Amino acid sequence: MQSDDVTALGCKTGNMVRIRGGVFGMGSDRHYPEEAPVSQVEVNGFFIDRLPVTNRQFAAFVAATGYRTVAERGLDPSAFPGVAPDRLKAGSMMFQPPRGPVDLRDVTNWWVWKQGAYWRHPEGRGSSVAARLDHPVVHVAFEDAEAYASWSGKTLPTEAEWEFAARGALDRMEYAWGDDFTPNGVRMAHTWEGEFPWKNLRSPGLQRTSPVGSYPPNGYGLFDMIGNVWEWTTDWYADNHRSRVESPCCGSDRPHGGSIDESYDLAQPTVQIPRKVVKGGSFLCAPSYCRRYRPAARHAQMIDTGMSHVGFRCVFRAPSKQEESGK
Q: For residues 273, 277, 282 and 285, what is the CA-based torsion angle, rounded to 10 degrees?
A: 90
Res. 4: pLDDT tops 60:
no
What whole-number distance in Å separates Cα of residue 69 and Cα of residue 141? 7
**First CA to last CA distance, the chain:** 26
Class of the CATH-defined domain 3-54+137-324: alpha beta
Q: Which of 91, 94, 107, 143 lies closest to 268, judged by CA?
A: 107
Residue 64 CA neighbour count, 13 Å, CB half: 10
Q: What is the pLDDT of residue 267?
A: 87
Q: Which residues, other chains included, contact 120 with Cβ-Cβ below 8 Å and sequence gap of 6+?
A: 55, 59, 128, 129
Q: Measured between alpha carbons, how far is residue 109 from residues 95, 98, 197, 200 in Å?
A: 9, 7, 9, 15
Res. 168: pLDDT tops 80:
yes
pTM listed for this prediction: 0.90
Q: Is 26 exposed, middle or buried (0-12, 13-18, 19+ CB in 10 A)?
A: buried
Report helix angle 142-151 to 55-65, nearest 10. 70
Q: Which of 267, 285, 278 lies closest to 303, judged by CA?
A: 278
Res. 8: pLDDT tops 50:
no
Q: Quick one: what percent of the chain has pLDDT higher than 90?
A: 77
21: helix, strand or coil: coil
Res. 325: pLDDT tops 50:
no
184: helix, strand or coil: helix
What whole-number distance in Å separates Cα of residue 236 and Cα of residue 275? 6
CA 67 from chain centre, in angstroms, equals 21
Q: What is the mean pLDDT of residues 2-6?
A: 47
Res. 13: pLDDT tops 90:
no
Res. 119: pLDDT tops 50:
yes
CB 224: neighbour CB atoms within 10 A? 28
Specify the length of the chain in residues. 327
Indicate the residue type of 140. Answer: V
Residue bearing the bigger pLDDT, 247 or 235 = 235
What whole-number distance in Å separates Cα of residue 163 and Cα of residue 183? 21
What whole-number distance in Å separates Cα of residue 104 and Cα of residue 184? 30
Per-residue pLDDT reduced to its tens digit, 266-291: 888 888 899 999 999 999 999 989 99
Is residue 256 very low, low, confident or very high in pLDDT (cuts 50, 70, 90)? low
